[in-house]
Structure 1
Amino acid sequence: MAGRKRSIRFKIFAILLVPVTALVVIWGFAATVTIEQGQQLLRIQKVYDNVVYPVSETINALQTERFVSVSYLAWRTASLRTDLQGQRRRTDGWADEMTRLSEQARDETPPAMWSRVQDLIRQVRGLDVLRGQIDDHTLTRLEAIEEYSSVVETANQVYDRLMISPDIDIVGQTKALILLVRSREVVSQQSALVLGAQASGRMSQDERDAFSGMVGKRRLLYQLGTSQLDSTLLKQFGALNASPVYSAFLSLENDVIARVRPGQPLPPDAIAWPTTAQALTSQLTETTNVAADVTAARALPLAQAVLWRIGIVGVLGLAAVLATMFISFRFARTLTGELTALHRAARDLAERRLPDLVRRLRRGDDVDVAAETPPVVQRSDTFEVENVGNAFTSVQQTAVEAAVGQAELRKGVNKVFLNLARRSQSLLQRQLGMLDSLEKVTADPDLLERLFGVDHLTTRMRRHAEGLIILSGAVPGRGWRNPVRLYDVVRAAIEEVEDYLRVDVTVPHGYSLVGGSVTDMIHLLAELIENATVFSPPHTRVHVRGEVVGRGFALEVEDRGLGIPPEELERLNQRLADPPEFDLADSDRLGLFVVGLLARRHNIRVSLRSSPYGGTSAVMLLPQEIVVEAGMHEPAVQPLSQPEHVAPALALTPLAGGGHDSLPKRVRQANIAPQLREEPPLRQDPEFREQPQLREERSDVFSSFRSGWQRAQEDS
């Protein structure tokens, strides 16, 4: 028996046969019903605490605000204004509390009831318009009552969609109590209407008609509600009907209807209306609450019976489970052991072996597919477990082969990048040499200016070719043996940017960069400066600043653009700090990807942050190992021999291949007409030399005057 292999279906059937039989018989007829009833009781309690109660308090707050608002419209006193502001804050407070509590019971609230709650919240939030009209006295008292009453009606509709118990009798008594609550709302409306009429001493025709309608509506709701109550609950309201307060209220209603005429003074008895209505409202509220407590008490035995059923079913189910544990233990232990071994082997493959294999492939190591794909499960007594193990073995072999293929493909793509970039770089170097030769022999200023533009464009093309080399993991061919001044490095990076005329540089001259980092630093700076010029308005300036800090040398590129959202800024900083593997599909941020690779190569920290001017600042922290002080570790930097007409975009072809130790410098007056190259006599003036701003202004004026004079001679 021990050597025979059984199917997993047989073992599972043997394990689950007894517990399934027991649990289906016991739980099938009782568990579902009782558990649902218990959950329904819990939902009812949560809905009452989180929806019904805050809605009730919101109704009371709205009724009070309506009463105070009508009082303010009637008398317009400062004290009533203060009371009104305080009541509005209380109403808004209960609205906020209702919003918070109802959100906690959203899943338990019936959809129709939830929809009414949301309508109520929106209407209470929109009371600002009504309140403004009351403050401006643009509403009549009756209109204010109607507006508030429409909001309270929405609140009462929340009750209409309440299911407090599955028992039909309890539901019927609850509906009757809701009708009585509505009749209490009509009493509140009547009180507000009569109170407003007392201010002027008379009722208008519309107010009298509205009051008559309220009387009929209240009596109908009250009669419908009490007629549906059972004998026990009806006794509570029978005592209320026989009370002197209710009799006095009915008498006042009849007097107002019978004796009040539109435009005529109110009868003297109407003065007692607020006191009588308030007393009736209190007794009606108290009686309704007592009836609600009695109704809730009736639901308690039902809840207890459900809880008992749940307990009995739970105990019987537990006994059945305990009985089946001993029978299924022998089979389950063997199957569990096999599945656990399979699980461990699969996790070891997913969490350790495959990630280690991928890391080795990324380093360029050779991988033996057969040696890296041993069987996941060596032996099993169950057919299905052994088949699953073989499937995992096949999956791991396919995954390893795919990873090796991807690594080979990545190497091939990198070689293609490198090959194309090297060819492009060679052609661009030749093109720069030809442009340099043409610039030396050309005397036409217009043609020379065009050659300078092509020179600048070629320099930028060379930078993009170097970007492909960097993406392929290689190093560009340009290099320097000796340190180069940081100022010259920044200047060379600016010359590789299209809109270089917008860039201002403030970098001290006393520090240099070691030769091995110059090429990558030029490329890194050029990428950041070009981003700053591209993503900022053309009329703004881009500032490049540098200073010595405690841990090296800091360079900052700041633009005045629209900036980057904080979430995107955080994501870009993470990519700069830890550049991910290059993805061919993600080509929108190639510049920042190149920046991250170059920064990691030289241990440079690059971070983006928001600029106080609204744009973005890129801060580079150069480590002390690659920054030296000028004069300590480098020879004096001598400018390269250049023709007098050096292009505005520096052609760095004399600099390729590490043949020189410094960067070229611009030649003064390189791009102006030959007849203007001599220094005007005005520049010999000491005042002109000592004041740069004055020098620039006078130079511009003198140059404009001289060129205009020459054009006039040529025209004549």
Structure 2
Amino acid sequence: MRTLSSIRHRLALLLALPTGALVLLGAIGTAAQAGRFADAGRTGDRVALVVATEEFVHQLQRERGLTAGLLGGEESFRARVGPQREAADTARRALDRSLAADPPGAERVRAALAGLSTLAGLRGRADTGAADRAEALRFYTGAVTALNAAAFADRDTTGDRRLADALATLEALSRATEAAALERGTLSGVLAAGSFRGGDYPAFVRITADRGAALADVPRTALPERTAALDAALRSPAAVAAAGMEQQALDGWAAARLPVRADAWWQAATELVDGLYVVQSQAAGDASARAAELRSQALRALLVDAGLALAAAVGAVLLGLLATRSITRPVAALAAEAEELADRVLPEAVERAQTGGGAASPGAAAAAGTAELEVLGAALDRVAGTAVRLAVEQSVQRRNTARSLAGLGRRNQSLVMRQLGLLSALERSEQDPAALANLFELDHLATRMRRNAESLLVLVGEASPRHWPQPVALGDVVRSALGEVEDYRRVVLRRVDGVLVDGGAVAEVAHLLAELIENALTASPPDTDVEVFARLGVDGCLVVVTDHGPGLDESALDLANTRLAGRESFLVDGGGQLGLYVVGRLAERLGAVVRLSPAPVHGVTATVALPSALLADGVRPVPAVGVAG
């Protein structure tokens, strides 16, 4: 015990303490880095959602301007509205795909998209002229404002200054682009109508002021190259032309007819909006690149921490393996000896005992490298010897028991056969109907006793001594099975095809069917029938026995089918359902397949697939239709 304790003590010191400490520290560090990596991944997903949302917003802004111009009376816009709606729908589908991954902020964007539920109706009314220009501008502007607010709701929670500045720049450019796009749409409607009407002029002035404020916010957080790109977009020829048209509209705000054409304004303003959107897309690229950079940094840190933790753990394990090498090899040798005992020595000893041969003794266990393992090897030798002796004794007992049961079964069968012969002679000579009926009942009872004796022979592996020299019709085989069950009057033969069964298999087929019919009668109420069908098929004959009892649950059916398939010994059941084991043995011997399944309404259906090898050549021309048994 002292040496065994020292081995456990050394292994505990060499493996448990350092390995546990290293694994714990490594797990803590790796978990922290994994959290940072996950946060970086969520940030990247959030930025991707912002980009997809802004692309959809850009398409809605263009659709808003064309719709406003169309409703203002500019019919040349009608041809452009349809393709632009398709572009907006495509951007919406791309946004929906981004939302399907459920990135951070998805719920807010989904809530904002709910405001577009009536978009299809507005489009239809715009095509027919039933919608009002101011109504369309309010609808689209409300949707765009909600989407922008949802996209940038949590931009200050990233934890990284560079990414926060990139998102702030993107938001300012988004507001500037929206103001320019709204200005484009508003003035397009005004120019299509010819002049400012109602509240068009104050709204237009307010939009231009909003655009100027948003543009002034961009340089505060933007990279120098983004500021330069924005200045270039605002100094482009289209931007200059749009500014001139805008000033003309402001100067002539009270004129009955503004001196600017709607299509010319749309062209210049659209180039300006597109230029601003290009800068906005570049800012979105900056945010995406920073998010990807943060994710890469987190991944590198995670891999480094995981690698260090793994290296430390591997080093501890290697040291432990070196310390235990002198133990594992002898233990492996002992394990091999034990496997040899279980896989070869014991089965061979049992087989020799069953065939009447002598029992072999197991070899000595492999030599161990330490005193402790040498003691274990000697103990294994003793265990092996005892196991072989017990296995041989059990095998001999089973063999003798099987022989005794077979002898008892044959004696019972012989006595029952003599009893049946005597009863047959008495039946032929008896004239009194009452006495003859009693003799018939005794004959039926003796027939059932014969089946029980033959069941015992089947369970111990003996073949049935009864054979017919000629093939027998399947209907007669079924009726023979009915003669071996108690309540045969409740059995109805619905349809039995006139197929012939080979004479050598008649007794065993009848025995198999009798067991199934007996089970069906026992499982069903006494006032119901048990139905039997038999149909000839391409690969043999199918016999079906159906009862109308309460049926079996799924677990009970699985257990019964396991027994019918011969995958369980009848000794484990304690004699409760020996009939199923008898059917399984007979089915295996005949090459048949028997299976239980739920009946169509209620009850259980037993199907027996008899192979073609059991059928004689030739089929009766008229199928036999059964009646009540």
Quick one: distance in 1 between partners of 2:119 and 2:391?
69
Aligned pair in 2 of structure 1 residues 293, 493: CA closer, same or farther (>3 Å)? same
Aligned pair in 2 of structure 1 residues 547, 203: CA closer, same or farther (>3 Å)? farther
Task: Measure how far apart 1:7 and its partner are.
Answer: 3.0
CA contact (8 A) 2:163 2:290 kept: no
Q: 1:601 aligns with which of 550, 571, 589?
A: 589
Quick one: distance in 1 between partners of 2:262 and 2:104?
41
CA displacement, residues 440-478 of structure 1 (integer Å, 9 cap, x when unaligned) = 969xxxxx9xxxxx9xxx99x999999998997788999
Q: 1:173 aligns with which of 165, 168, 171?
A: 165
Aligned pair in 2 of structure 1 residues 14, 34: CA closer, same or farther (>3 Å)? closer
Task: Measure how far apart 1:546 and its partner are.
Answer: 0.6
Does structure 1 residue 7 correspond to structure 2 residue 7? Answer: yes
Q: 2:496 aligns with which of 502, 505, 511?
A: 505
Quick one: distance in 1 between partners of 2:245 and 2:541?
90
Q: 2:278 matched to which residue of 1?
A: 286
CA contact (8 A) 2:499 2:536 kept: yes
2:590 alignment partner AA: H
Aligned pair in 2 of structure 1 residues 231, 493: CA closer, same or farther (>3 Å)? same
Task: Measure how far apart 1:176 and its partner are.
Answer: 0.6
Helix, strand or coil: the match of 1:554?
strand
Quick one: distance in 2 between partners of 1:87 and 1:464?
82
Q: 2:411 matched to which residue of 1?
A: none
Task: Measure how far apart 1:56 and its partner are.
Answer: 2.8
CA displacement, residues 156-209 of structure 1 (integer Å, 9 cap, x when unaligned) = 25874874xx6x321321331342364267459737964995798499999969
Task: Measure how far apart 1:601 and its partner are.
Answer: 3.1
CA contact (8 A) 1:65 1:87 kept: yes
Mean alpha-carbon deviation: is it higher for 336-345 or for 131-140? 131-140
CA contact (8 A) 1:508 1:547 kept: no
CA contact (8 A) 1:197 1:203 kept: no
Aligned pair in 2 of structure 1 residues 335, 20: CA closer, same or farther (>3 Å)? closer
Does structure 1 residue 628 correspond to structure 2 residue 582? Answer: no
Q: 1:664 matched to which residue of 2?
A: none
Quick one: distance in 2 between partners of 1:466 and 1:79?
94
CA displacement, residues 628-661 of structure 1 (integer Å, 9 cap, x when unaligned) = 3479xxxxxxx9xxxxxxx9643xxxxxxxxxxx
Q: 1:519 aligns with which of 506, 510, 522?
A: 510
Aligned pair in 2 of structure 1 residues 54, 607: CA closer, same or farther (>3 Å)? farther
Aligned pair in 2 of structure 1 residues 518, 286: CA closer, same or farther (>3 Å)? same
Q: 2:235 matched to which residue of 1?
A: 243
Aligned pair in 2 of structure 1 residues 338, 620: CA closer, same or farther (>3 Å)? same
CA contact (8 A) 1:504 1:544 kept: yes
2:509 alignment partner AA: V
Aligned pair in 2 of structure 1 residues 471, 157: CA closer, same or farther (>3 Å)? farther
Aligned pair in 2 of structure 1 residues 250, 372: CA closer, same or farther (>3 Å)? farther
Q: 1:333 aligns with which of 313, 322, 345?
A: 322
Task: Measure how far apart 1:485 and its partner are.
Answer: 1.7
Task: Measure how far apart 1:603 and its partner are.
Answer: 1.5
Helix, strand or coil: the match of 2:567?
coil
1:603 alignment partner AA: G
Long gaps (5+) in structure 1: 103-112, 419-425, 443-447, 449-453, 562-566, 632-638, 640-646, 651-716
Helix, strand or coil: the match of 2:166?
helix
CA contact (8 A) 1:31 1:313 kept: no
TM-score by length of 2: 0.55
Quick one: distance in 1 between partners of 2:377 and 2:251?
91
CA displacement, residues 54-111 of structure 1 (integer Å, 9 cap, x when unaligned) = 7634652465368559849968979855764676466436644764xx4xxxxxxxxx
Q: 2:93 matched to which residue of 1?
A: 92
Quick one: distance in 2 between partners of 1:257 and 1:402?
114
1:546 alignment partner AA: L
Helix, strand or coil: the match of 1:114?
coil
Quick one: distance in 1 between partners of 2:197 and 2:512?
89
Aligned pair in 2 of structure 1 residues 344, 43: CA closer, same or farther (>3 Å)? farther
Quick one: distance in 2 between partners of 1:518 and 1:468?
13
Does structure 1 residue 190 correspond to structure 2 residue 190? Answer: no
Quick one: distance in 1 between partners of 2:450 and 2:156?
71
CA contact (8 A) 2:40 2:294 kept: no
Q: 1:672 matched to which residue of 2?
A: none
Quick one: distance in 2 between partners of 1:514 and 1:356?
39
1:554 alignment partner AA: C
CA contact (8 A) 1:482 1:514 kept: no
Aligned pair in 2 of structure 1 residues 548, 530: CA closer, same or farther (>3 Å)? farther
Q: 2:342 matched to which residue of 1?
A: 353
Quick one: distance in 2 between partners of 1:91 and 1:477?
78
CA displacement, residues 252-282 of structure 1 (integer Å, 9 cap, x when unaligned) = 5996999599xx9999576556435533432
Q: How does 1:289-308 map to 2 (within 5 A)?
A: 289-293=281-285
Long gaps (5+) in structure 2: 407-414, 549-553
Q: 1:275 matched to which residue of 2?
A: 267
Aligned pair in 2 of structure 1 residues 83, 307: CA closer, same or farther (>3 Å)? closer
Aligned pair in 2 of structure 1 residues 123, 51: CA closer, same or farther (>3 Å)? same
Quick one: distance in 2 between partners of 1:520 and 1:376?
51
CA contact (8 A) 1:180 1:221 kept: no
Q: 1:546 aligns with which of 536, 556, 578?
A: 536
Task: Measure how far apart 1:229 and its partner are.
Answer: 0.5
Aligned pair in 2 of structure 1 residues 314, 649: CA closer, same or farther (>3 Å)? closer
Task: Measure how far apart 1:226 and its partner are.
Answer: 2.6
Give the length in aligned residue pairs: 558
Quick one: distance in 2 between partners of 1:146 and 1:362?
90
Aligned pair in 2 of structure 1 residues 579, 305: CA closer, same or farther (>3 Å)? same
Helix, strand or coil: the match of 2:270?
helix
2:473 alignment partner AA: R
CA contact (8 A) 1:55 1:98 kept: no
Q: 2:55 matched to which residue of 1?
A: 60
CA contact (8 A) 1:373 1:397 kept: yes
Quick one: distance in 2 between partners of 1:513 and 1:543?
22
Q: Please report the RMSD computed on the Cα atoms of aligned residues, expressed in angstroms.
A: 7.9
Task: Measure how far apart 1:486 and its partner are.
Answer: 1.7
Quick one: distance in 2 between partners of 1:66 and 1:343?
76
Helix, strand or coil: the match of 1:56?
helix
Q: 2:567 matched to which residue of 1?
A: 580
CA displacement, residues 204-226 of structure 1 (integer Å, 9 cap, x when unaligned) = 99996997899499659936953
Quick one: distance in 1 between partners of 2:279 and 2:615?
88
CA contact (8 A) 2:112 2:143 kept: no
Quick one: distance in 1 between partners of 2:564 and 2:202?
74
Task: Measure how far apart 1:554 and its partner are.
Answer: 3.2
Report the identity percentage. Answer: 16
TM-score by length of 1: 0.50
Q: 1:145 aligns with which of 140, 148, 160?
A: 140
Q: 2:542 matched to which residue of 1?
A: 555
CA displacement, residues 486-508 of structure 1 (integer Å, 9 cap, x when unaligned) = 23335667998998658333343
CA contact (8 A) 1:345 1:376 kept: yes
CA contact (8 A) 1:544 1:556 kept: yes
1:627 alignment partner AA: L
CA displacement, residues 222-249 of structure 1 (integer Å, 9 cap, x when unaligned) = 3695375167367347626853666747
